[in-house]
Amino acid sequence: MSANTPSNDTILEGVGLVKHFGGGGLLSSSTVVRAVDGVSLAVQSGETFAIVGESGCGKSTLGRLLLRLIEPTDGDVLYKGRSILGLNQRELRQLRRELQIIFQDPFASLNPRMSVGDIVAEPIWLHGLAKGSEKRERVTELLRTVGLLPAHADRYPHEFSGGQRQRIGIARALAGDPKLIIGDEPVSALDVSIQAQIINLLEDLKDRFGLTLVIVAHDLAVIRHMSDRVAVMYLGEIVELSETDALFDNPLHPYTQALLAAIPVPSPARRQPKALLQGDIPSPAAPPSGCRFHTRCPHARPVCRDQHPALETTPDGRKVACHFWREIQGAGAGSITAPPPSPALSKRLALYRTWRERQDTAVAPSP
């Protein structure tokens, strides 16, 4: 099966998604910003699917389109084979139970006027899942699940650290018993040590509740650690889609190669010459003709300026949008090997996982 072919296990699918902002309304600019421009992807049930790219590439907009938090200009979104764009308000509210999001800013996403208990309990009340003492017990269980204390239910968001606030956001996302969660840069605003805790927490919750995760991020070390497949975006389009190990071991697209080469290497002995990109990122309001990456690509030729490359399926099932990816590989330009996660992040991940295993053993019931 190819890296993006829908199957019976497909839980969420974007079909030709387009999102343009602006366009000349009374209160909008006449400039059209092409945030997402013809993206198709299929997320398999139970996997961790990552969407990566530079800031402004459209990955966060794509995540919101997949949840119908914003309406697409064109295209469709299918959940379990059914379009969600034609759902009415009642049907969409029911769907919200199964599709949730963790926002990038753990403080801005929480209502400062509500206690933590009320924030987590709101989805439970909204969907009629529990009332009274049962609802309070459910909130307590959720707080414990994400590593918080029951006493924290009476506090307010400003009384917590960034990592704790992100845990509150995760508890709220879990409150409705979702099937799929999209994490929009869920750890980018956190310290490295806290990032490791949240990453491991998400992985533990995925295994415990059978979740499907879609992670929007630009930190490639995080993506390599936790994802199964990766879609690389550039100026509103997917330029490469592959299983994680294959992408990091042998990137096909010149943009992916440059992204991986830009990861800092802590050991001077392992440093390699970097394939630095030239020029600035073009504006999504005026994307280049042909291949959108040709203005910065070291392998660009005249055809790249004139013809838009299709997202081609490779013999091993990966997808890449480049006219000359075969020649680039043959010349050895794609032999950039991405470094592993930084020692600090790797150490924190290992220490936190060991701590979680001890905690699970300590609370395990005796036989």
| Three-state secondary structure readout of the chain | CCCCCCCCCEEEEEEEEEEEECCCCCCCCCCCEEEEEEEEEEEECCCEEEEECCCCCCHHHHHHHHCCCCCCCEEEEEECCEECCCCCHHHHHHHHCCEEEECCCCCCCCCCCCCHHHHHHHHHHHCCCCCHHHHHHHHHHHHHHCCCCHHHHHCCHHHCCHHHHHHHHHHHHHCCCCCEEEEECCCCCCCHHHHHHHHHHHHHHHHHHCCEEEEEECCHHHHHHHCCEEEEEECCEEEEEEEHHHHHHCCCCHHHHHHHHCCCCCCHHHCCCCCCCCCCCCCCCCCCCCCCCCCCCCCCCHHHHHCCCCCEECCCCCEECCCCHHHHHHCCCCCCCCCCCCHHHHHHHHHHHHHHHHHHHHHCCCC
Which pLDDT tens digit goes with each residue over 133-168?
A: 999 999 999 999 999 999 999 999 999 998 999 999
For the chain, what is the mean pLDDT?
86
Domains parsed from the chain with CATH numbers: 1-46+53-87+229-264+275-367 (3.40.50.300)
Q: Is the pLDDT of residue 17 over 80?
A: yes
Quote the percentage of the chain above a pLDDT of 70.
Answer: 83
Q: Is the pLDDT of residue 310 over 90?
A: yes
More confident residue, 193 or 349: 193
What confidence tier does 253 reach under pLDDT thresholds 50, 70, 90?
A: very high
Q: What's the confidence (pLDDT) of residue 333?
A: 44
More confident residue, 225 or 331: 225
Which pLDDT tens digit goes with each residue over 162-206?
A: 899 999 999 999 999 999 999 998 888 788 778 888 888 999 999
Highest mean pLDDT among 199-203, 213-217, 338-342: 213-217
Q: What's the confidence (pLDDT) of residue 51?
A: 96
Which pLDDT tens digit goes with each residue over 67-114?
A: 999 999 999 999 999 999 999 999 999 999 999 999 988 889 999 999
Q: Is the pLDDT of residue 127 over 60?
A: yes
